Structure 1
């Protein structure tokens, strides 16, 4: 039968061995290609997540900017006992800064030590910053923070406590 197709049985055995060798190489190449597709999907998923966060931060900024520009809109955020309109505006602005730093840290662009330094040297070096966290922490403590947000809030709380101790000692 092999003779009718051309070649001897030895030729066919040799071709079969070559085909099996290429089959092994083909399987390895296919596995590498599949790994590449899986990696690509994972990267796309990560990028989509970052873009969703970016979109949310942009929406938050737009809302906060409108509230900071118009005292009537600021009232929609509710009242805070004993906080005048200027303090509310500062509170909203510092909250926007904090959300920016959280996003920066959450997408792995910043380190915990950078976040600590930002709060210690910038926010908590001012009365407005200390007052912001005194009020904001009450809300955050009473909400079920989880994951990265809870970790971030713990960093902020730690720096807040350090700032309070430093002020007490001075």
Structure 2
């Protein structure tokens, strides 16, 4: 009888530990998602500030194209769109097929293609430094879509 009670007690304890472990894993994922969203929000705010004040654009560093005020704003806005594509792909809100459809549309426009020409090396360097294979895959997908769109655009 004591052995049966001990086995039942052990089974209940094991089940309770499993539930706690699953709960902690879920909380960890939720925390990571909240942190990612917080980072995206800050990024959006910085981009919007830069779009509103051309003097702030140079604070990003790198080679900002010497464009007109309007074109600079368009490229900054393209960055917001592109960053959304990246976030949606990383969080699995879109599949690779959906990402490709979005990128095909993005690169049909001259500004989308210019954005990638200017920002390509930065994105590749950033994602190649990442450990996650999916992050390193992103610029490969983008480059494939960009090349296809560039070929199509050169025909017109």
> Which TM-score tier does this pair reach, normalised by the shorter chain?
0.7 to 0.9
Counterpart in the other structure of 2:60 = 77
**Alignment: residue pair count:** 152
User: Cα offset for 1:82?
Assistant: 4.1
Match of 2:4, SS state, is helix
TM-score by length of 1: 0.81
- 2:32 match: 49
What is the CA-CA distance between 1:80 and the residue it aligns to?
2.6
Q: Give the match for residue 149 of structure 1.
A: 135
Q: Does 1:165 align with 2:151?
A: yes
CA RMSD of aligned residues (A): 1.7
Structure 2 portions without partners, runs of 5+: none
Shift of 1:36: 0.8
The answer for the alignment partner of 2:12 in structure 1 is 29
Matches of 1:152 and 1:114, distance apart in 2: 13
Change (3 A) 1:104 1:76: same
CA-CA distance at 1:72 after TM superposition: 1.8
Runs of 5+ consecutive residues of structure 1 not aligned to the other structure? 1-17
Q: Per-residue deviation at 1:110?
A: 1.4
| Structure 1 residue ranges (4+ consecutive) displaced by more than 6 angstroms after TM superposition | none
Q: Does 1:125 align with 2:108?
A: yes
Larger gyration radius, structure 1 or structure 2? 1
